[in-house]
Amino acid sequence: MEVVALGFLLLVVAGSSAGDEAREAEAVRALLARLLGPGPAAAFSVSVERALAAESGLDTYRLSGGGAGARVQVLGSTGVAAAAGLHRYLRDFCGCHVAWSGSQLRLPQPLPAVPEELTEATPNRYRYYQNVCTQSYSFVWWDWARWEQEIDWMALNGINLALAWSGQEAIWQRVYLALGLTQSEINEYFTGPAFLAWGRMGNLHTWGGPLPFSWHLKQLYLQHRILDRMRSFGMIPVLPAFAGHVPKAITRVFPQVNVTQMDSWGHFNCSYSCSFLLAPEDPLFPIVGSLFLRELTKEFGTDHIYGADTFNEMQPPSSEPSYLAAATAAVYQAMTTVDPDAVWLLQGWLFQHQPQFWGPAQVGAVLGAVPRGRLLVLDLFAESQPVYIRTASFQGQPFIWCMLHNFGGNHGLFGALEAVNQGPAAARLFPNSTMVGTGMAPEGIDQNEVVYALMAELGWRKDPVTDLGAWVTSFAARRYGVSHGDAEAAWRLLLRSVYNCSGEDCRGHNHSPLVRRPSLQMVTTVWYNQSDVFEAWRMLLTATPTLATSPLFSYELVDITRQAIQELVSLYYEEVRTAYLNKDLVTLFRAAGILAYELLPSLDNILATDSHFLLGSWLEQARAAAVSKAEASFYEQNSRYQLTLWGPEGNILDYANKQLAGLIANYYTPRWRLFMEMLVESLVQGIPFQQHQFDKNAFQLEQTFVFSTQRYPNQPQGDTVDLAKKLFLKYYPRWVAGSL
């Protein structure tokens, strides 16, 4: 089964990897110069030779040399393999660390020698990266400078397959105009920038739009640069394809067209959802699909792998296997009409999200409608709810074992490191396994970097890490550039608690009361012992005399302090609720006052000390993407909506919650203070708490924040260590004494 399923994929990879070895080597040298500077980079020799992986065809690197006066030799079968080899040397021989939040790159002098020539081949054909949602939750406002950093990070972590979906709306605009739609109909169809991911999957239309003309131009330009850089490393960019969703205006141009209006999505009404899906047998289906792909590949070229999701979080119009097979075949055939070598990358989230609909016959209809080896399925949430197990390894279609991990780009310490560590090897050993890769598919990045460091490393390992405690200890030493017992002990505590998520209380989406619209019914149970968080906080603070000058340590100190305050908010909320139910006004006043007037302002202050936790930076990115003041205001409002209400009526309220300085002060804090005031009022007046009235009042506050034009600092303010110590001295003794 595996040989049949993977045969075509092998051909695709062979074809796409026959590029210019010299160009890929040069791309890695340029990355090295950006990372270390031209001087230190000169101590490395980088080359790319396909023959290094001739036997297996799998990415391979070889390290040798180094030591006094000798250059470190890095050889890779592709540019990505060479970059991964370089990263391995920096990590394991130099004790360096490269992450989203910054890098620790203190190189020993002379550079350490590689004792014996080290050759490593990945067991995985693909190391995949991204989720369709990442494009909106994290990448939406990025400029080229930020994309360049990310593609460097991807190369160093061995990523060789990634979505490249920028600029597609400009191509769709050409197609729709060619089909006879008016510009105003097209403008009305597209969502705003912060919601494009769901427009692309057919969940939404119109909401947050229209897209300015300048958006299309800038995204086209950006996409060309992204693709050029990805390809220069030998990565395979995944381009979008037609999934079947069309604007309603199609029915004006083609009155006889056979379309089905889908159900609503995400608590949106049909003004913004209920998309139109072309019937697979309609003659317009292949025309639209091939028009789009032809225009897209003419503009951007192709690497023959395309992403499309027809039924993402939407129930198909029929559960009949014949319908599902026809719908799937139509998408694939529209691809192969333009590109006979097309492979379809499908997010397997649909099977996981609605398991009651996707029974064996329905799953089989989709998987069987595409020739085996031409459908590449992302088992998107495999660390928690793997689909390959209940579908007999996707019935012979190749799949990628993915770690989703994060929903909405939330902050909050979280991970299931043991499940992540064991998962890929277990999938590879599954009977008749068709696993061809590992993947990282977070909805949002810039959080919990330890989880992604492990997952990236597993992309190059056949077996799990044998001792995660030892692994996380060395992770801490690399991250801060020096071994420190207390800091490493803190990480081991976090490993056994927040990063050991399992059981019913295990949630990847942050549901802490801190970031939810308050009620008397909020759940505060967690899967870990909160004492471990407070003890890790204490240990990290103990390490400050040695590590305070490390920017990554400073970032960690903010993050662990943020987490400790998140725990305290839950505990004080429990006290508030108990006091209210017991009609204890004095205790209610005390606990409410601490939560709303001490804890939340303290959290805002500590977040303000680090550039990674600033609302001002988030909003400034949005404004910087604009070409006029009006556009800047429009983009900023898009961004504010996504963080908070998400839709016009709080449709997916606080899904993309963040803990940012400014957002705490001007969004979460007013909401909590209103809640406390109404609880007190309820007790004093002797009437039940009016949740419905509170929700209405809270919505007014939430809207006030969305429509506000208040500016926020985009540079850090205050001393992280000093503030963290003060907060620790104030709250840790209360925690230990159990007398909040």
User: Greater confidence, 509 or 705?
Assistant: 705
Residue 330 lies in a domain: yes
* Phi, psi (deg, nearest 5) at residue 437: 180, 175
- Phi, psi values for residue 309, rounded to 5°: -130, 105
Distance, first Cα to last Cα, the chain: 61
Write down which residue in 318, 347, 370 finishes a domain.
370
Residue 364: closest CA among 319, 409, 332: 319
pLDDT for 19: 63
Query: What percent of the chain is helix, strand and coil (3-state, nearest 5)?
Result: 50, 10, 40
C-alpha span between 631 and 473 (Å, rounded) = 47
Residue 112 DSSP code: P
Taking all residues of the chain, what is their mean pLDDT, rounded to a whole number?
A: 95
Flag whether pLDDT at 14 surpasses 50: no
CA distance 612 to 377: 34
CA distances 96 to 42, 86, 252, 265, Å, are 17, 11, 60, 45
pLDDT of residue 9: 54
SS3 labels along 367-417: HHCCCCCCEEEEECCCCCCCCHHHHHHHHCCCEEEEECCCCCCCCCCCCEH
Average pLDDT (122-148) is 98
Residues 551 and 675 in one domain: yes
User: Residue 659's domain is classified under what CATH number?
Assistant: 1.20.120.670
Let me know: does 106 contact 412? Beta carbons within 8 Å: no
pLDDT tens per residue, range 270-322: 999 999 999 999 999 999 999 999 999 999 999 999 999 999 999 999 999 99
Number of structural domains the chain divides into: 3
Identify whether 110 is preceded by a cis peptide bond (ω within 30 of 0). yes
Residue 379's contacts (CB-CB under 8 Å, 6 or more residues apart) are 348, 386, 387, 388, 394, 399, 400, 401, 402, 427
How is residue 50 annotated by DSSP?
Answer: G
Better pLDDT: 160 or 509: 160
In single-letter form, the type of residue at position 265 comes to W
d(CA 627, CA 6) in angstroms, rounded, equals 47
CB 241 within 8 A of CB 289: yes
Domain-located, residue 503: no
| Out of 16-30, 87-101, 448-462, 553-567, least confident range | 16-30
Is the preceding peptide bond at 210 cis, omega within 30 degrees of 0?
yes
Phi, psi angles (nearest 5°) of residue 702? -65, -45
Q: Which two tokens stand for residue 646?
A: 């998400």
Is residue 656 within 8 A of residue 646, CB to CB? The reply is yes
Domain that holds residue 669: 529-737
Residue 392: name the closest of 425, 374, 367 by CA: 367
* Euclidean distance between CA atoms 457 and 463, whole angstroms: 11
b/e code 127-147 from CB counts within 10 Å (16+ = b):
bbbbbbbbbbbbbbbbeeeeb
Q: How far apart are CA 138 and CA 211, in angstroms?
A: 18
Strands 126-129, 435-440: pairing is parallel
What number of helices (H) and strands (E) belong to the chain? 31, 17
C-alpha to C-alpha distance for 500 and 626, rounded to whole angstroms: 42
Whether pLDDT at 622 is above 90: yes
- Distance between CA atoms of residues 12 and 349, nearest Å: 24
In this predicted structure, what is the pLDDT of residue 13?
46
pLDDT at 11 over 60: no
| Largest CA-CA distance found in the chain, in angstroms, rounded | 82
State the average pLDDT over residues 588-610.
97
Which CATH number fits the domain that encloses residue 224? 3.20.20.80
Confidence band, pLDDT 50/70/90 cuts, at residue 241: very high
- Do 117 and 171 lie in one domain? The reply is no
Q: Which one has a higher pLDDT value, 444 or 735?
A: 444
Q: Is the pLDDT of residue 87 over 90?
A: yes
Task: Kindly state whether residues 298 and 216 are assigned to the same domain.
Answer: yes
Does residue 203 form part of some domain? yes
Question: So what's the pLDDT on residue 1?
Answer: 39
The answer to whether residues 117 and 219 belong to one domain is no
Q: In this structure, are 98 and 198 located in the same domain? A: no
- C-beta of residue 230 within 8 angstroms of C-beta of residue 164: yes
Q: Which amino acid type is present at position 179? A: L
Choosing from 89, 121, 153, the residue where a domain stops is 121
Q: Would you say 473 and 412 are in contact if contact means Cβ atoms under 8 Å apart?
A: no
**Can you tell me the mean pLDDT for 669-689?**
97
Distance CA 251, CA 103 (A): 53
Q: In Å, how far are 95, 250, 288, 455 from 254, measured between CA atoms?
A: 63, 6, 12, 48
Residue 197 sits in the same domain as residue 84: no
Q: Identify which of 718, 717, 676, 720 has the alpha carbon closest to the alpha carbon of residue 694.
A: 676
Which run of H or E residues covers position 73?
A: strand 72-76
CB 531 within 8 A of CB 430: no
Q: Would you state the pLDDT for residue 505? A: 73
Residue 217 lies in a domain: yes
Taking residues 578-586, what's their average pLDDT? Answer: 97
Tally the residues of the chain: 740
Contact 197, 136 (CB under 8 A): yes
Does any domain span residue 148? Answer: no
pLDDT beyond 60 at 2: no
In a domain, 318, yes or no: yes
Angstrom distance (rounded) from CA 285 to CA 279: 7
* 37 and 174 part of one domain: no
Does residue 427 lie in a domain region?
A: no
Determine contact, residues 136/617, Cβ cutoff 8 Å. Answer: no
Lowest mean pLDDT segment, chosen from 4-13, 417-426, 502-511 = 4-13
| Nearest in space to 587 (alpha carbons), one of 598, 578, 595, 579 | 579
pLDDT at 738 (0 to 100): 78
Classify residue 143: in a domain, yes or no. Answer: no
Residue 660 φ/ψ, nearest 5 degrees: -125, 145
| Strand intervals (E) in 427-535 | 435-440
Query: What's the CATH number where 113 sits?
Result: 3.30.379.10
The arithmetic mean of pLDDT across residues 9-34, rounded, is: 76
> In terms of DSSP bridges, do strands 375-379 and 102-104 run parallel, antiparallel, or are they unpaired?
unpaired
**Quick one: 349 and 245 in the same domain?**
yes
Please tell me the predicted confidence (pLDDT) of residue 15: 44
pLDDT value for 502: 86
31 vs 37: CA distance, rounded Å:
9
For the stretch 470-487, pLDDT in tens is 999 999 999 999 999 999
10 pLDDT exceeds 60?
no
Q: What percent of the chain has pLDDT over 90?
A: 94
Q: How far apart are CA 681 and CA 513, in angstroms?
A: 21
Q: Do residue 185 and residue 117 come from a single domain?
A: no
- From the CB of residue 68, how many other CB atoms can be counted at a distance below 10 Å? 8
pLDDT of residue 250: 97
Q: Looking at the structure, do residues 621 and 680 belong to the same domain, yes or no? A: yes
pLDDT at 522 over 90: yes
Say if residue 227 is in the same domain as residue 330.
yes
Pick the residue with more confidence: 158 or 735?
A: 158
Same structural domain for residues 170 and 105?
no
Q: What percent of the chain has pLDDT over 70?
A: 97
The predicted pLDDT at position 311 comes to 96
Mean pLDDT of 239-253: 98
State the pLDDT at residue 486.
97
Of 333, 353, 370, the domain-final residue = 370
Provide the token pair at 54. 């001739």
